[in-house]
Structure 1
Amino acid sequence: MTPDQILRTFLDHYHRRDHRDAPESSLIPPPGDPVLFTTSGMHPLTPYLLGRPHPGGRRLANVQRCLRTTDLDEVGDRTHLTVFHMLGSWSLGDYDIATSLRWGYELLTEGFGIDPGRLHATVFGGDHQVGPDETAWATWTELGVPVEANGTDNWWSNGPTGPCGPDSEIFVWTGDGPPTGTPSTDDRWMEVWNHVQMRHHRHDDGRLTPLPVSSIDTGMGLERLEMVLRGGRSVFAGDGLQPWVDAVRGRWPLDGPDLRIVADHLRSAVVVLGDGVRPGNTGRGYVLRRLVRRALTVLWRDDPTRSLTELPVEAYADTLRRFGQRAEVEPLRAVLLEEERRFRGLLRRGRPLVDRLRGRGPLTERDYRWLHDTHGLPRDLVDGLLTEAS
């Protein structure tokens, strides 16, 4: 199934169950949200999870673009992305977790045709404040899906404070042969869908109090689901990532994690730019700058003459179209090329600094921190300069 077919199947499933479409928001969260970017589909709906009536009703569904800085260090493997599409459904004080899980099971097995034998679920096992999620456990058991209980891994929160609650995660077996182990013991189980019970509000002191209404918030990564449905082993083989993978690999001899990092970060940078963010030294601008410079760091590790000017505009245009952004390609491309120029200048200025420090002996952790915090030189590039100078 193509991403468009997956999205249509998902929304049709929930439309038949009286859900209305919630409009997609940009990566910039609503005022008052504590995070820099929209990290899940529920961010734009936070006021409604706190009890405000939604104009669309109590049953909603949509696709939302998201960015997670917490996953930056994991990007480079087969399944993690910085920017991705999140398929979401919500019950704002309407149906319960058992109904949500049953409908989710129906969609995965009947709508998308996933073999029930390839599914595994996890639920919240309880802690000193909240008891185990017996309803979710009983529902999965009734459906014949293996289930295991965990602690904090199955507790979802919007941040250090705010709406939170126990969640049930659905995993699909991506290995060869029959499934083995559990999600906590075998990483070939890949999480595809999360069903959260938004029942609590966490305060600054860690206390939990009940929300005005108990809601359900689900989120499923479109790119991961596409990988599962195509029988693939990497999200980078999907329609949304392939143009960047082809563009990068077609010009430079990159493979493995290096190829995936460059493709992901450049694609993500285009989406962030498309939502109006520009490179800077703080906040959202710094996240964007870090994405671009990390991609350039990988590119220049073996050949500092490589340039983003070599990449075709088609990859930019494809990404903007898939994320429904109306920005023009050339102005965004010009921003990236200017950021590349600034970074090259930084490196030219940084080489004498590195040489001076090396003259005193091997670099210390304090030296690395000073080079990064004061002059913006990432460790990977500092080590590259050292290799070049030695």
Structure 2
Amino acid sequence: MNTEQLIRTFVEYYEDHGHRRITGSTLLPPPGDPVLFTTSGMHPLTPYLEGRPHPLGRRLVNVQRCLRTTDLDEVGDSTHLTVFEMLGTWSLGDYEGPQSLDWGYRLLTEGLGVDPGLLHTTVFGGDDQVGPDVSSLRLWQERGVPVEETVEDNWWSNGPVGPCGPDSEIFLWTGDTPPRSTPTRDDRWVEVWNHVMMRHRRLDDGSLVPLPQRNVDTGLGLERLASLLQGRPSVFECDVFEPWRRLVPALWPLDEPSLRLVCDHLRSAVVVVGDGVRPANTGQGYVLRRLLRRVLTVLWREDPSRGLGDLPGELVSHTLGHFRQGGTEPVRRLLLEEERRFRRLLERGRKVLARPRFRGPLGEEDFHYLHDTHGLPRELVTSLREE
């Protein structure tokens, strides 16, 4: 089952259970939102989780593209991506957690053919503010699915304040032995689906108050589930990365972690540009700039003659097509211009750092001077000094 079939199966299953499909937003949150990018499927729905009636009703389903800068340093392992798609469902004051978990279990096992014996779950065990999630625990016990109780690992929030609540996570065994241990003790259990019982709001003082309605918010990583269902050892080997895996190694021979980073960051940069972001020294534009510079640093480490001009247009058009974006040539031109800008910056940076003043250890004053006067970010200075 490829990702398009997986999306169709997921959406149709929930439509059959009374959910209305809503259109996913771009990576860019609405004006005034403090976050740089949409980080989860629930983010654009926050007003409705807080009680505003949604025009399509109380049961919703969608596919949302997301970007998480917090995972940048994790990219290269088998499960993390910078830009990814999240399959989501919502109950806005309608059904409760056990119903959501039961539908999720049935979709995985009956609709997608997952062996129930390869599943494990976790639930919230309670703390000094909120009691244990007994209803979720009971549901999993009735289904015969192993369940582990935790505290911090099963409390979901989108920040220090705002909507939050206990969650129950569904894990799939990926080891080459029969399932063993638990998700908190063996990382061969890979999380695929999180069901959040979003019932509370955390205030500035850390206290909790009830939300106007009891919601359920679920999120399932599309690429992660696709790789597991396709029997692939990492998200970088599911079908959405097929052209990248086919074309990039022949173009730029790289070790596996570097290949993953290059494919992820270039693909993510294409999507970010496709949603209207342009390189800049702050905000969303700086995230885009950082992605491209990390790619170029990896490519040039072994061969300075490598360049984004060699990148096959098929990879750009494939990615833009998957995310329903357009404009292959404008995207390619922007990538090449940013590469030229970075080459010029590196040349200037090497000359500046060759001065006697910067040959010894650098202090905070030096880093500030290099950034403010010469436009050299700290991470770039550190990289150049390691050459």
Whether 1:65 and 2:36 are equivalent positions in the alignment is no
Deviation (angstroms), 1:133: 1.1
Deviation (angstroms), 1:355: 2.3
1:70-85 → structure 2 map (5 Å cutoff):
70-85=70-85
- The count of corresponding residues between Structure 1 and Structure 2 is 385
- Alignment-derived partner of residue 110 in structure 1: 110
Deviation (angstroms), 1:255: 2.3
Whether 1:343 and 2:342 are equivalent positions in the alignment is yes
1:367–1:343 distance in 2 versus 1, CA, 3 Å: farther
Is the partner of 2:355 in helix, strand or coil? helix
- Alignment-derived partner of residue 139 in structure 2: 139
1:83–1:360 distance in 2 versus 1, CA, 3 Å: closer
8 A Cα contact 2:350 2:384, kept in partner: no
- Alignment-derived partner of residue 332 in structure 2: 333
- Alignment-derived partner of residue 12 in structure 1: 12
Q: What amino acid sits opposite 1:18 in the alignment?
A: G
Q: What amino acid sits opposite 1:331 in the alignment?
A: P
1:234-383 → structure 2 map (5 Å cutoff):
234-325=234-325, 327-356=326-355, 360-361=359-360, 363-364=361-362, 366=364, 369-370=367-368, 373-374=371-372, 375-377=375-377, 379=379, 382-383=382-383
1:116–1:152 distance in 2 versus 1, CA, 3 Å: same
- Alignment-derived partner of residue 191 in structure 2: 191
Deviation (angstroms), 1:344: 0.5
8 A Cα contact 1:354 1:382, kept in partner: no
Is the partner of 2:156 in helix, strand or coil? strand
1:196–1:386 distance in 2 versus 1, CA, 3 Å: closer
- Alignment-derived partner of residue 223 in structure 2: 223
- Alignment-derived partner of residue 173 in structure 1: 173
Is the partner of 1:279 in helix, strand or coil? coil
TM-score of the superposed pair, with normalisation by structure 2? 0.95
Unpaired runs of at least 5, structure 1 = none
1:44-63 → structure 2 map (5 Å cutoff):
44-63=44-63
8 A Cα contact 2:39 2:68, kept in partner: yes
Is the partner of 2:354 in helix, strand or coil? helix
Q: What amino acid sits opposite 2:343 in the alignment?
A: R
Q: What amino acid sits opposite 1:245 in the alignment?
A: R
TM-score of the superposed pair, with normalisation by structure 1? 0.94
Deviations 1:33-73 (A, max 9, x none): 33111111111111110111111111110111011111111
8 A Cα contact 1:63 1:86, kept in partner: yes
Q: Percent of pairs identical after alignment?
A: 63
Is the partner of 2:306 in helix, strand or coil? coil
1:32–1:152 distance in 2 versus 1, CA, 3 Å: farther
Give distance in 1, aligned partners of 2:386 and 2:169.
45
1:250–1:358 distance in 2 versus 1, CA, 3 Å: farther
Give distance in 2, aligned partners of 1:187 and 1:368.
42
Deviation (angstroms), 1:385: 5.4
- Alignment-derived partner of residue 208 in structure 1: 208
1:379–1:34 distance in 2 versus 1, CA, 3 Å: closer
Is the partner of 2:14 in helix, strand or coil? helix
Give distance in 2, aligned partners of 1:298 and 1:372.
23
Q: What amino acid sits opposite 1:330 in the alignment?
A: E
1:285–1:380 distance in 2 versus 1, CA, 3 Å: closer
Q: What amino acid sits opposite 1:69 in the alignment?
A: T
Is the partner of 2:324 in helix, strand or coil? coil
8 A Cα contact 2:353 2:359, kept in partner: no
Give distance in 2, aligned partners of 1:302 and 1:142.
56
Give distance in 2, aligned partners of 1:32 and 1:359.
41
Deviations 1:177-198 (A, max 9, x none): 2011111111111111000011
Q: What amino acid sits opposite 1:204 in the alignment?
A: D
Give distance in 1, aligned partners of 2:365 and 2:345.
17
Is the partner of 1:250 in helix, strand or coil? helix
Give distance in 1, aligned partners of 2:262 and 2:294.
8
Give distance in 1, aligned partners of 2:370 and 2:279.
17
Is the partner of 1:169 in helix, strand or coil? strand
Give distance in 2, aligned partners of 1:246 and 1:308.
17
